[in-house]
Structure 1
Amino acid sequence: MKKQLFYNGTILTMEEEGRQVEAVYVEDGKIKEVGSFDKLKEFEKEKDVQRIDLHGYTMLPAFIDSHSHIVELAAILRFGQLNMAMNFQEIVKIMKEKKEQVLLEQEQKNKEGRKEREEGQAKVPWIIGFGYDHNLLKEGRHPDKFVLDEIAKDVPILIIHASGHMGVLNSKGLALAGITKETKDPIGGKIGRVSGGSEPNGYLEESAFMKVASHMEEEGGDIVSFFQKAQNIYFQYGITTAQDGLTKEGGLKLLKQLNENDILKIDVVSYIDIKDSSHLIKENEEYEKRYKKHLKIGGYKLFLDGSPQGRTAWLSKPYVKQEGQDSDYCGYPIYTKEQVEEFVRKAKEEELQLLTHCNGDRAIDQLLEAQKEPSTMRNVIIHAQTMRLDQLEKVKYDKMIPSYFVAHVYYWGDTHIKNLGMERANKISPAGSTEKKDIIFTFHQDTPVILPNMLETIWCAVNRKTRDGVLLDQEECLSVYDALKAVTINGAYQYFEEEEKGTISIGKRADFVILSDNPLDIEKESIKD
């Protein structure tokens, strides 16, 4: 039996504001006792107790990720990293280097005499990059196939936008994807065209992009080793419970393999793609709403719209007009009213929690209209960037949980001002109003969109400052304590795990994060540092 005594630091239990204890005693990963050091030092008399001196640091319950894509993070770690590219030239440079690396690896595999090579069926490797953001590029727009053809014309290339909702193919990629000037835009998506005609320019948006990207799961090398790296990234940010927020067959197969081989060390809650993969629930009942080792299936995931920074979120009022778009352009939905009602009905009948991606307020309306009555399943509105204050009343009535991507304030706040106008941008991620209405909410980073940096997210929630230093509506700021709740006890509640996680309390899991400073005591501007 492993026994540990934590002491000599600031220990925030998160049970209630101001609650601190001097020491915590743990046996076999469970909290056995909390209280004063004088009381708990009696446990030192027991055999083999490990004393863990906190040296004045601050200990809290470990952070809980309420929405991300851990399998996707593992996948994109294999790709060219474009998050620091500031212009087309830098994208081309990074991707040329990635191309040389991938082709060298492919050549080595061919020399090893792989069977498919012997049979003349060697797979054409895709060269993939992730993380560019057209809002930050010098050119102020997405690259196109003509830019990517500068990297190569004889191998397929795909670069993925930071939002994960759009991307660009080179000419070879378009050919392999079967996209021509005769290809029509799919429902809920868009194929970019060369100006003045129907020839595809390489840009793909929403469902058009997702169809191509869904075939890239196995590109880029050993996914197991990259998953271990991804898992460690979560641990480095103090997270011990993570999410896989749109699990398909390949992703679940991987998670089960990692779990069975004891490679999965972090708790992962999987949400199955309700549109294309709902059969996975019945086929994996041993994981349904309960952990088997470190993996459980929490329910379903549904998408209703796109991203506000990509101008594909579905709004009730038009975006600020942009060249090439109509003045009444509001984004667009992915599904019809009837389809959404059917998805919501399905989750309800199966008594499964439903997490629904809604960035635009009209998409939120569509979900709330389909919900019809309160649910005990703690259904979650993912992102809720442009949640209107009048919508919060029905959110509360329906017992839904908004999970805000509040770091949008910093990363894309200036873009939202440009796309939405100041009045709407001021109110993105209205956590302050949500708190005032006593609605339980959580925070997330939508990793791999950004890293799962919980302290940065807390900083965003209490300061609401954009990259350019603009302060968005300060009425929506939270206290540091309330922001911490959103990534600890509220996260546990979202997962129906509040009896096991989220506070430092007797009987709960001994999952802790140790910080250099007490976030409740330092200047709020310094929290992310």
Structure 2
Amino acid sequence: MGNLAADLILARGNVLTLNPACPRAQLVAVKDDMIISVAANEALPALRGPGTEVIVLNGRTVLPGFHDAHCHLVAFAESLLVPNLAPPSVNSISDIQGEIRRLSRNLPPGNWIRARGYDEFYLTEKRHPTRRDIDEATTVHPVKLTHRSGHAHVLNSLALTLAGISGETTEPPGAMIERDLETGEPNGVLYGMGDYLSNVAPSLNDCELARGIGLAGERLLSSGITSVQDASASNDLRRWRMFRRWKEEGHLKTRVGMMLGVEAFNRHREEGLLPQTGDNQLRLGAVKIILDETRGYLNPPREELNRKVMEIHQAGFQVALHALEETTVEAACLSLEYALHKLPRRDHRHRIEHCSVCGPEMAKRLASLGIAVVTQLAFIYYNGERYRETVPDEQLRHLYPLATLIKAGLKVSASSDAPVVSPEPLTGIYAAVSRTTRAGQKLLPEECIPPLAAVGMYTQGAAYTSFEETIKGSIVPGKLADLVVLSGDPTGVSPEEIKDLQVEITIIGGEIVWRRGL
């Protein structure tokens, strides 16, 4: 065979290609970092050479490598290095206090204590802990707790003092300091102040962060994730250089598309930044803007939002708008509509991140504008009980309406938003197919989608949103050899069995980067 021989062949498998022209095969052959053949088992002798590694799968399923279209790698790395307060292991404020006391015993006074992942809905008290609650655990260590969402924090009294937050403190735009109704003093609960606090609480040092990135990378590989898009609004050129270093040092094998925060875009756009700068290992993606209504009004205000979106659009970049509620999704749609009317642009692929509440008419409007939706399938599973009990009925009926989005003709991609929830795509696929919560309840079963459609959101859909569908997202000769081998076929088992499937092998660029063992 000479140079035509494959380096690696996956044989006797059940290959789901996500290629409509050839939806199933039995064999995938790889040379260097590319797929060279997708065929029946009979093609094996012609592709095999003396140096070819052949893995006989015995019916196991091969899919394109999973692609998480919206996560936060640095926050995910940090979450693996600090105590985890997530349910179901932490069920009360008393549990949180106990964990803080445990951490404080061997820590000199004045050293920061950090923990993350608590969710007030799943606490017995059904509320956020306050400064007073944490002060009961320690008054000599500054404490910062990060909510599961990443958008709220709780500080004890010492941490508030070090952060310079008092009754006289003016809230930054889009932020909110929760206050005691009688005294007006901060009660320790802060919303939308992550960037502010990052300048107060000490960050992980470079060695700690590299170790966390390595742990995060291993988790991604063990989940079959070969590409991610990092959606952190704080991303800037310094973070870009950090990603490049982590890639070069081998801490992070998963391919990365890095969004740029809008503030960094404004700072750096005169430096010759171009859309899609980078390579197949690290690529610059969309520019992100967060829309919220924490204070009961839109932030950023409509005129400012239109200006920011127009500047990004005019520069040729993709716009990514974080919008959850019906009102913020509407605002995102209007701002993109405004930019596209002022300056029409084909194949812009502007996107709405989350798009949690979206009715059929809004879905049609978004589709007509060519806007993509990047959503979180696994939220149905992990947050379902919270949604059922706290989301008003008129919004609940349009919550993560996957079938509605598909019917409207929208391009939809899937993601985890890790560390908000665990990154495993199989959990998201299960949730999309079954609409079942962790407690076994159904959440809008009429919005169930077929397994292959859910798989497509983690493969083809995600590749589309990053302008990479010509090199990723399906198993086709000439595309990157990014593949995942599963213990079974998510399209051929019952919905309940999907979440129990296991990742057996993860391959990036033809290299086996993780394996359970065959």
TM above 0.5: yes
Within 2, Cα distance between the matches of 1:16 and 1:4?
24
2:478 matches 1:507? yes
Within 2, Cα distance between the matches of 1:435 and 1:97?
48
**Residue 336 of structure 2 corresponds to which residue in structure 1?**
371
2:286 matches 1:299? yes
Within 1, Cα distance between the matches of 2:45 and 2:82?
50
Alignment match of 2:96 (pick from 86, 91, 114): 91
Percent of aligned positions with the same letter in both sequences?
A: 28
**TM-aligned CA deviation for residue 414 of structure 1:** 2.5
Structure 1 residues 213 and 142: CA distance shift in structure 2, 3 A = farther
Within 1, Cα distance between the matches of 2:183 and 2:16?
62
Within 2, Cα distance between the matches of 1:162 and 1:255?
24
For 1:164-213, what per-residue CA distance to the aligned partner results, in whole angstroms no more than 9, with x for missing partners?
A: 1101000010001101111133332211112322111101012x344214
Structure 1 residues 379 and 10: CA distance shift in structure 2, 3 A = same
Query: Structure 2 counterpart of 1:62, which letter?
Result: G
Contact 1:10 1:57 in 2 (8 A): yes
For residues 118-517 of structure 1, the aligned pairs below 5 Å read: 125-206=111-192, 208-213=193-198, 215-216=200-201, 218-219=203-204, 222-246=208-232, 247-276=235-264, 278-280=266-268, 283=271, 285=273, 288-292=275-279, 294-305=281-292, 312=294, 331-372=296-337, 373=340, 375=345, 376-517=347-488
**TM-aligned CA deviation for residue 32 of structure 1:** 0.7
Within 2, Cα distance between the matches of 1:432 and 1:150?
48
Within 1, Cα distance between the matches of 2:242 and 2:104?
26
Contact 1:245 1:270 in 2 (8 A): yes
**Residue 85 of structure 2 corresponds to which residue in structure 1?**
82
Contact 1:259 1:293 in 2 (8 A): no
Query: Structure 2 counterpart of 1:506, which letter?
Result: P
Contact 1:67 1:445 in 2 (8 A): yes
Within 2, Cα distance between the matches of 1:75 and 1:272?
20
Query: Structure 1 counterpart of 2:138, which letter?
Result: A
Task: Tell me the SS of whatever aligns to 1:390.
Answer: helix
For residues 2-41 of structure 1, the aligned pairs below 5 Å read: 3-16=7-20, 19-41=23-45
Contact 1:305 1:334 in 2 (8 A): yes
Which sits farther off after the overlay, 164-173 or 188-197?
Answer: 188-197
Normalised to the residue count of structure 1, the TM-score between the two structures is 0.87
Within 1, Cα distance between the matches of 2:438 and 2:251?
38
Equivalent pairs counted in the alignment come to: 485
For residues 54-69 of structure 1, the aligned pairs below 5 Å read: 54-69=57-72
Task: Tell me the SS of whatever aligns to 1:393.
Answer: helix
Within 2, Cα distance between the matches of 1:18 and 1:504?
9
**Residue 117 of structure 1 corresponds to which residue in structure 2?**
none
Contact 2:382 2:421 in 1 (8 A): no
**Residue 324 of structure 1 corresponds to which residue in structure 2?**
none
For 1:492-514, what per-residue CA distance to the aligned partner results, in whole angstroms no more than 9, with x for missing partners?
A: 11111111111110001111111
Within 2, Cα distance between the matches of 1:31 and 1:20?
15
For 1:287-315, what per-residue CA distance to the aligned partner results, in whole angstroms no more than 9, with x for missing partners?
A: 85143462111121110016xxxxx4xxx
Normalised to the residue count of structure 2, the TM-score between the two structures is 0.89
Q: List alignment gaps of at least 5 residues for structure 1.
A: 107-123, 307-311, 313-329
**Residue 315 of structure 1 corresponds to which residue in structure 2?**
none
Query: Structure 2 counterpart of 1:188, which letter?
Result: G
Structure 1 residues 506 and 53: CA distance shift in structure 2, 3 A = same
Contact 1:347 1:353 in 2 (8 A): yes
Query: Structure 1 counterpart of 2:292, which letter?
Result: D
Q: List alignment gaps of at least 5 residues for structure 2.
A: 501-518
Q: Over aligned residue pairs, what C-alpha RMSD do you find? A: 2.2
**Residue 74 of structure 2 corresponds to which residue in structure 1?**
71
Task: Tell me the SS of whatever aligns to 1:31.
Answer: strand
**TM-aligned CA deviation for residue 16 of structure 1:** 2.5
Within 2, Cα distance between the matches of 1:451 and 1:34?
32
Contact 1:272 1:278 in 2 (8 A): no
